[in-house]
Amino acid sequence: MGNPAPHRARKRFGQHFLHDPNIIRAIVSAINPRPGETVVEIGPGLGAITCPLLEKLESLLVVELDRDVIPILQNKCGDYGDLNIHQADALDYDFGHLATKPKSLRVVGNLPYNISTPLIFHLLDSADKIRDMHFLLQKEVVQRITAPPGGGDYGRLSVMVQYRCKAEYLFTVGRGAFQPPPKVESAVVRLEPYQVLPYPAHNEKHFSGLVNQAFSQRRKTLRKSLKQLATDQHFQAAGIDSGKRPEQLSVAEFVALSNQIALHKE
């Protein structure tokens, strides 16, 4: 019997398998896994970072959608430690139940570009259980996540992630680090959910809706884009110039405006 045919990356799963040993070492070093920690890897693929993580952790849980890579993972990484594989869609997976105590779960992954943003929002729902997240993402997405106010990269994703987390751009990863090479560069980001929110919103659902509405018409001034939600009184009470555009407002200012609107509704 010959060797089995190599697994081909599947377009529908957005698969680009990491193979550069220097990048793999850099990612594992950034994560700095320790035995006894509760770590879950999303989309392990062919195990590029799974094996070195498992070697350091001794026990690792992975969530993988593509059932065809599961036997490859088991054969390749099973001897490194206790590998617990869940064949599931990460977008539907309840990550919160994995945490034994608050802020104990560590999440890592080379995320498919087509689901990275909704998956991050899904994970933020369990932010109280998560210690940190390290993701390899499309570089443009990492730039948006970590962008400061004032530029074109700053938007809804920036505000909503930075509301919950300290976000740090770690390093860029070239296309040649993957097989097959993606059409764009990638980057690694570290997200650390706050123990205590620096700017808590009184009504987080309202805050989210306000941010979404503002950036859905980002070329308009806040006075125009938020006319259904905020009055001049709300802007004045929050100390915000309604003539600004949404990318000019910090997370703290969006929260302040949302809280003023919530206050006047009570």
Q: What is the pLDDT of residue 108?
A: 98
Q: What is the pLDDT of residue 185?
A: 94
Q: What is the pLDDT of residue 266?
A: 54
Nearest C-alpha neighbor of 71 from the set 1, 17, 4:
4
- Cα angle, residue 210 at apex, residues 115 and 243 outer, rounded to 5°: 120
Q: What is the pLDDT of residue 15?
A: 54
Does the pTM exceed 0.85? yes
Residue ranges, the chain, pLDDT below 70: 1-15, 266
In a domain, 175, yes or no: yes
Q: What is the pLDDT of residue 49?
A: 95
Q: What is the pLDDT of residue 201?
A: 97
Q: Tell me, what CATH number does 31's domain have?
A: 3.40.50.150
Nearest C-alpha neighbor of 192 from the set 135, 137, 131:
131
**Same domain for 175 and 208:** no
In a domain, 45, yes or no: yes
Q: What is the pLDDT of residue 114?
A: 83
Full domain range(s) for residue 155: 11-193
